[in-house]
Amino acid sequence: MAVSKFRIAALLLLTVSIIYAVALYIDMQNYEAWKQAYLQSHPDLALWIDFAPYATTNLLAVFIAPVLMLFWSFLIIWKRLVR
């Protein structure tokens, strides 16, 4: 039974999307854990430090380009499926 290249590409895209979602979740959790550990180790600075939310850090910038590429890929797949 032959599997089309389109189905293989769609499955691969879904797999990469899941991996990126998990990586982003883990990265967010690590950032929050680091923030809490830093505040516990420097209690005198806790009143003066206002950490940026995760969405405004450089950590998220690493994920923006691949997420946009995955989004456009999903749109292409959706367009092909609807036709």
Break the chain into its structural domains and give their ranges. Answer: 15-82
Environment class of residue 13 by beta-carbon count within 10 Å: exposed (0-12), middle (13-18) or buried (19+)? middle
pLDDT digits (tens, 9 = 90+) for 8-37: 877 888 888 888 888 888 888 888 888 889
pLDDT band at 55 (very low <50, low <70, confident <90, very high): low
Does the structure show a pLDDT above 80 at 44?
yes
Q: Which helix (H) or strand (E) holds 14?
A: helix 5-41
The residues near 40 (Cβ < 8 Å, ≥ 6 apart) are: none
Angle of CA points 65, 68, 73, to nearest 5°: 125
The structure's pTM equals 0.62
CA–CA distance, 51 with 59 (Å, rounded to integer): 13
